[in-house]
Structure 1
């Protein structure tokens, strides 16, 4: 299977494993200019005080068992900008492939992600490190080597 990966972060970082994902999942990660994906989903959040604080800082949506989800992806020279809307709540980030893997930036926060395809074919991309500007975030901030 041949795919033009160009600036698309997921195929660049996943390499040959990208081809093992279901066709529908691959298509969502091959945006050429702009793509829009709409569906329904659930939002789960932690209940602890740090979890609530972090969710508030980033503007993450409230927990909801069933909510409309809309994701607009826009290809840019350094990756993709994702505008995610959960019900009435919207948040924006930029995903980029880097020599160290993949990063996702929310304003001054940048997270290094560890995307991988699980043995059952699911795509996961856990946070493995974070920074606020040039400062590394402490490990309890959600830095996990495996997600």
Structure 2
């Protein structure tokens, strides 16, 4: 694939992208608009600060059930809308150098992606809220892992903050074939 038309994730991950398991590769190489269906389980924090932060970043409600994800992808940016528990959780992703940026609600995260044992590990390296940079050390409890199992794309996303505690932990699968 020509570098000018490589998918966003292929650009960020470089040569490691080509060795990803088929479900991860298929989801992240697709361009244009695609819908994926699966199942998700969501745990949420219960404290007042946790609920406030979750509302500002449009995190999904607690529960278990069907999941639908709409991804609009081009080589320059992607729009993901996750439909969980009757609510939409939209985000926008783009690349800044070797960092994958994601805007979720009022927050913009910068992630360093790494392929470890055939899975993609997401680690926060920077965060901006209202355009103000926050210390990345506050976000060591935020991350994600994408993997493949039983021919399905699997995801595990977690977010905990000092003082606020657990914001959200959601995990599940999508059919991408």
TM-score normalised according to structure 2 size: 0.69
C-alpha contact (below 8 Å) 1:128/1:144 kept by paired residues = no
Supply the distance in 2 between the matched residues of 1:146 and 1:73 (Cα, whole angstroms): 20
Distance 1:105 1:146, change over 3 A: closer
Q: 1:30 to 1:140 in 2, by over 3 A?
A: same
Distance between the aligned counterparts of 1:85 and 1:68, measured in 2?
Answer: 9
Give RMSD over aligned pairs.
2.5
Q: Which structure exhibits the higher relative contact order, with contacts defined as CA atoms closer than 8 Å and separated by 6 or more residues?
A: 2
Counterpart Cα distance in 1 of 2:112 and 2:49: 22
Provide closer, same or farther for how the CA distance between residues 100 and 14 of structure 1 changes in structure 2, counting only shifts above 3 A.
closer
Counterpart in 2 of 1:122? 119
Distance 1:29 1:38, change over 3 A: same
How many pairs were matched up? 143
1:93 to 66, 91, 94: 91
Kept after mapping to 1: 8 A contact 2:92/2:102 = yes
- Alpha-carbon distance, 1:99 to partner: 1.0
Paired position in structure 2 for 1:55: 54
Unaligned runs of 5+ in 1: none
SS in 2 for 1:112: strand
Structure 2: unaligned runs, 5 residues or longer: 145-177
1:75 maps to which residue?
Answer: 73
Counterpart residue number, 1:15:
14
Q: Output the CA distance in 2 between the equivalents of 1:115 and 1:83.
A: 20
Tell me the residue number matched to 1:24: 23
Normalising by structure 1, we get a TM-score of 0.81
